Amino acid sequence: MNFLTIAKTVMSLLPLIIQTINELEKAFPVSGAGAQKLDVLKTVLKGADEIAEDTKDGTFDQMWPAIVKIVTALVSLKKQTGQ
């Protein structure tokens, strides 16, 4: 999978990722549980990938590192801005 394909796919997932982070923070407002919340996000996205008919094997695994970096940046920004 090339860079542009991964970037477009991850960017299209950004609203869903942000919404999921917000929902996880509301449901589990526990400090220090970031790894567990990230694991839940991975499970949700992986589950969707497994039932999607338009993805190929390995697609999710190729995108996951980029998603982790985005989530880390978003959570850091939320903490810095008090959101």
Q: Note whether residue 8 is domain-resident.
A: no
Domain range spanning residue 69? 34-83
pLDDT digits (tens, 9 = 90+) for 1-24: 678 887 888 888 889 888 988 898
pLDDT digits (tens, 9 = 90+) for 36-80: 999 988 888 888 877 776 666 567 787 888 889 888 998 888 888
Q: Note whether residue 12 is domain-resident.
A: no
Q: Note whether residue 3 is domain-resident.
A: no
Angstrom distance (rounded) from CA 61 to CA 71: 16
Q: Note whether residue 81 is domain-resident.
A: yes
Q: Note whether residue 26 is domain-resident.
A: no
Phi, psi of 4 (to 5 degrees): -60, -40
- Residue 12, token pair as written in the block: 């299209």
Contacts with 37 (C-beta within 8 Å, 6 or more apart), sequence order: 21, 24, 25, 28
Q: Note whether residue 82 is domain-resident.
A: yes
How many structural domains comprise the chain?
A: 1
Q: Note whether residue 38 is domain-resident.
A: yes
pTM for the structure as a whole: 0.71
